[in-house]
Structures are given as C-alpha cells and as structure tokens.
Structure 1
C-alpha cells in the first residue's frame, strides 16, 4: 500500500483526458460557435510528427491554432493528427497529448498549462511536474493571458 495519494499524477491524467474528450468531440462534430483553440506543444517529444522545416523553425515548442481551416482531424488514445495551413502550405502534424504544454480556448476564457517537460539521459520523454488548472483571460489586445484560479479560491 502506498504512503499517500498521488494527486499530481491523478490531476495530470484527468486534464489530459479532458483535452482528449474536447478534441474528440470537435473532430466528430466541428467547432461550435466562437470556440477555437491555441495549443502549444513540445516539438522535441519523440512521438511528435511535423515537417522538417517546421521542426527547424520551432526547435523547442510550437503553438497551433485550431479555428478556421483544418483537415484530417483525428483524435486517438495518445494524441491527435491534423492538417493545418502554414503560409498556404497544408502540413500534417501529429501531437501527442503528453507533448501539450498549454491548451487555451479564449472564447470562453479557459486554459490549462502543464509544467515543463524534459528528456532524461536515455532520450526518453518525461513529465517533470503535473498539470496545473488555470483560466485564461483575454488581454487588452485580444491575446490570451493565463491567470491562476488560486486567486478566485476562498
């Protein structure tokens, strides 16, 4: 029997599941209303798949926007594949759920941020910390700003 409940890993698993559920629904039914997503992911993750020129341009992390045009959107158990337009050049991507560092839907001021991820000496991908639930509030110029929910807790 363990000495304590590992709430961190439980929260991590739950938040990745939430993202998977939301993306699965969007893949099946499309984006409702004004919903759209900014998803930042670690391009160094060994299972991330993107064109060489994109990996060179974004050697550590990349933010994609799922909003107006996307194609071939499929969500699996461990990640999602999608084709997005980069300067009039459609490019397929595969993003593992474990590679996601931020997930924001600015239309409803919702966001999640996951702690930094690193490789160990054997080039295996590991999560350093667990997910931290946050809320995104729109900034003055229409950008999203991540604000901790702790300030709203009593």
Structure 2
C-alpha cells in the first residue's frame, strides 16, 4: 500500500474545523436556533489558547465548555473564537483557536465531531500567538497589582486582533448564577 503523501487525515480535520467555524459564526449572527446547544472540548495547553490562570489551574489539560443559555460576546475570527462564560458566578473570557478543539457535540441532534488537536495543515499566525502572550502578561500584571503598560491594547481589542478579524458578536446574555458548565466529553461518547 502506498504512503499517503496528500495527508487526507489532516485535510479532513481542517475541513471539519471549518464547519465548526461556520456553525459558530452563524450562531454569532443569529443566536442558537431551536434546542441546539454545543459542548466544545479543547486542549488548554494548545498554542494560542487564552483562559484565566484560575481556569488553567482547574483544567490543566482539557476543558469542555457549554454554549447554551448563558454565554456572551461570541466573536469568530479567522483562526480562533472568543466567548464570555460564567464559572461559579465569575465572568470569564476565553479565546480558543480552532486548532485546539478536541471535540464538538450538539446533543439536541446527536451530532459529534472529534479532532486530534494540533493536527492541522494551518499554522497559527505569529500575531495571534503574540497577542495572546501580551494578554496573558497584562492579566498577570493586573493580578499582581501592577498597572497596565502604556500603549497596551484593551483586552477586547487585543482579543479581536488575536482572533484574526474583527468579528460579529452576539447580543449579551444575562450573566447569572447558572453560568458555564464544564463536563467531560466522554460522558457523551458512545460506549462500545
């Protein structure tokens, strides 16, 4: 048998990540239709991922977020998406490159995709990685009580730059106590 020099496995994963991007862009424009909602699992160590230190400590390798009732500022860029969620009543902004996604599941229609994170033909642009690094540094300085450096972008502007394009955002949802829920994607995988 011949060696796969075209790397069909990578091409298919990139195409399916493109489908996730289109789905999220549509939700960003129009909101979630009907009973649709999403569980999105991602590698918290993947290049370009931006989550708070608190969440990073709690989920050092993988995290699954739920986009259903209470999320806001869903912004879709060329290489990543950003979303606001509440964790234990604390609002958080997450920036997730599409290449970091491990799983996408819509339980309302039993639709699921699994990915091998990092297995992509698309390289993350240096600007994305630099912007995420600057945001992490600014957040750490603020957490340490140091003032933000002059000329540094505000978080939202830097996140928009990091996600690739200025993206359309969904209307803000109320941030209540129900908040984001993190569950294991394994709970939804078929047992064989």
The TM-score bracket by the shorter chain reads 0.7 to 0.9
Q: Does 1:24 align with 2:16?
A: no
CA displacement, residues 72-91 of structure 1 (integer Å, 9 cap, x when unaligned): 11001111000001011110
Q: TM-score scaled by structure 2?
A: 0.60
* Cα separation, 1, equivalents of 2:5 and 2:119: 20
Indicate the residue corresponding to 1:105 in structure 2. 106
Aligned to 1:86: 87
Specify whether residues 3 and 30 from structure 1 end up closer, same or farther in structure 2 by C-alpha distance, changes over 3 A only: closer
CA-atom RMSD, angstroms? 2.2
User: What is the alpha-carbon distance in structure 1 between the residues aligned to residue 4 and residue 45 of structure 2?
Assistant: 34
Q: Which runs of 5+ in 1 are unaligned?
A: 118-125, 129-142, 149-154
Q: How has the CA–CA distance of structure 1 residues 7 and 72 changed in structure 2, closer, same or farther, with 3 Å as cutoff? A: same
Larger RCO, structures 1/2 (Cα 8 Å, 6+ apart) = 2
Gaps of 5+ in 2: 121-185
Q: TM-score, normalised by structure 1?
A: 0.75
Task: Give the corresponding residue for 1:146.
Answer: 189
Residue 3 of structure 1: how far off its partner (Å): 7.2
Taking the aligned partners of 1:76 and 1:3, their CA distance within structure 2 comes to 31
Q: Is 1:57–2:62 an aligned residue pair? A: no
CA contact (8 A) 1:70 1:82 kept: yes
Q: Which has the higher helix share?
A: 2
Divergent runs of 4+, >6 A: none
Task: Report the count of equivalent residues.
Answer: 125
For residues 73 and 51 of structure 2, the distance between their equivalents in structure 1, rounded to whole angstroms, comes to: 14
> Which structure has the greater CA radius of gyration?
2
Q: What is the CA–CA distance in structure 2 between the aligned matches of 1:9 and 1:25, rounded to whole Å?
A: 24
